[in-house]
Amino acid sequence: MTTRTIIAAPHPDDEVLGAGGTLLRRKAQGGQTAWLLMTCMDIEHGWTQDQIDNKASQIAAIAKHFEFDAVYELKLPTTHLDAIPMHHIVEKVATAIKAFAPTEVLIPHSSDIHTDHHVTFNAVGACTKWFRYPFIERVMAYETLSETEFGLDPSNTFRPNVYIDIGDQLDAKLAALQIYSAELGPFPFPRSAEAVKALAMVRGSAAGFHAAEAFELLRERY
């Protein structure tokens, strides 16, 4: 059966950092992929038109790079998800989930330090109940450099238990990261090519691969 993977990204670049290699591998294996992009920049919240246009160009380039079968932009205000009623966000997420009917859902980890990540985890998680979304077989949390590792709650940390070999996809993942060059910084900044490659190598060494992405399996049914 063809895998249909949807990744929920609070912001553009989370999809690359957390699961870029996996998304590329799914496509190489004949699967279908979708991008659920939760937020956007807008003038009302202080972004310039040039910033908005530049981000739109990046989103288009990423969609082409990953050859997504569907892109769902919810266009909620970035950094302000916690100010929006949860039921409003869930309704928007549910529409996208039902439209794509994924078998696999990838979400940010609940320990991520950014509030947009917390809200995304909860909103998308609410749209994975089997009796409303029976096509979903697997839900996994990904790690996002600059967010996941900065959570301070010792009772809620990222505990990887799934490792996906991305040795053949690492270079393409790093190339995708360069599309977001303005978001990158020199190592040891977490969002740097060196840090992303180092994490892939560490996760790979835990599973016997040259490079891997790690996930926390939250639910699987088959």
State pLDDT tens for residues 206-217: 999 999 999 999
- pLDDT for residue 1 is more than 80: no
Q: Please, is 198 exposed, middle or buried when counting C-beta atoms within 10 Å of its C-beta (0-12, 13-18, 19+)? A: middle
- pLDDT for residue 44 is more than 90: no
Between CA 6 and CA 34 the distance in angstroms is: 5
User: What is the average pLDDT value for the chain, to the nearest integer?
Assistant: 97
Residue found by looking up tokens 């090519």 in the block: 193
Tell me the mean pLDDT in the region 192-221.
98
Q: 156: phi > 0 → left, psi -120 to 50 → alpha, else beta; which?
A: beta
CATH of 4-157 given 3.40.50.12780, 1.10.287.130, 3.30.310.80, 3.40.50.10320: 3.40.50.10320
- pLDDT for residue 45 is more than 90: no
* Percent of the chain surpassing pLDDT 90: 95
Tell me the mean pLDDT in the region 48-76.
96
* Percent of the chain surpassing pLDDT 70: 100
Tell me the mean pLDDT in the region 170-196.
96
| Residue 127 host element (H or E) | none
List, as one string, the DSSP characters of 14-81.
HHHHHHHHHHHHHHHTT-EEEEEEEEE--GGGT--HHHHHHHHHHHHHHHHHHT-SEEEEEEEETT-G
Tell me the mean pLDDT in the region 64-85.
97
pTM for the predicted model, two decimal places: 0.97
Number of H helices, E strands in the chain: 6, 7
- pLDDT for residue 59 is more than 90: yes
pLDDT at 62: 98
Q: What's the residue count for the chain?
A: 222
pLDDT at 47: 85
Tens digit of pLDDT for each residue in 140-165? 999 999 999 999 999 999 999 999 99
Rounded to 5 degrees, what angle do the CA atoms 218, 82, 56 make?
85
